[in-house]
């Protein structure tokens, strides 16, 4: 999985039928230290991620193995909302602290 930040949304009314009901979120890849990378991608959201949240997303065929994406033509799926990131013994990100 990779770390990403939710930076926006993509709306598409004309799409493959199996894509109906899914929300497309724009993610920007993020390093563990919180710095954002140049690369972006579009993922379907299965966990209710909101703007600016840090998430974990799965790529490839495993994107179809969440509770709601079985047999759907998706290749990036958000599978978790990140609470905290620790590198060595140092906390790099803490959602509660940020929102507190």
Q: How far is CA 72 from the centre of its chain?
A: 17
Is residue 76 within 8 Å of 28, Cβ to Cβ? no
User: What is the SS3 assignment for 85?
Assistant: strand
Q: Does 34 bind its own copies (CB under 8 A)?
A: no
Q: How many residues belong to the site for its own copies (CB under 8 A)?
A: 58
CA neighbor of 9 nearest in space, from 21, 25, 22: 25
Compute the least distance from the CB of residue 49 to its own copies, in Å. 9
Q: How near is the Cβ of 35 to its own copies at its closest, in Å?
A: 11
Residues that bind its own copies (CB under 8 A): 1-3, 7-19, 24, 26, 31-32, 40-43, 46-48, 51, 56, 58-67, 69, 71-77, 79-88, 92
């Amino acid at each position: 999985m990779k770390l990403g930040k939710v930076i926006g949304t993509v709306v598409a009314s004309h799409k493959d039928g199996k894509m109906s009901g899914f929300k497309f979120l724009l993610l920007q890849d993020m390093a563990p230290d919180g710095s954002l990378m140049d690369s972006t991608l579009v993922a379907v959201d299965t966990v209710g991620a909101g703007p600016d949240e840090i998430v974990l997303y799965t790529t490839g065929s495993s994107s179809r193995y969440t509770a709601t994406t079985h047999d759907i033509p998706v290749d990036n799926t958000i599978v978790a909302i990140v609470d905290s990131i620790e590198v060595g013994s140092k906390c790099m990100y803490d959602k509660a602290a940020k929102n507190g």
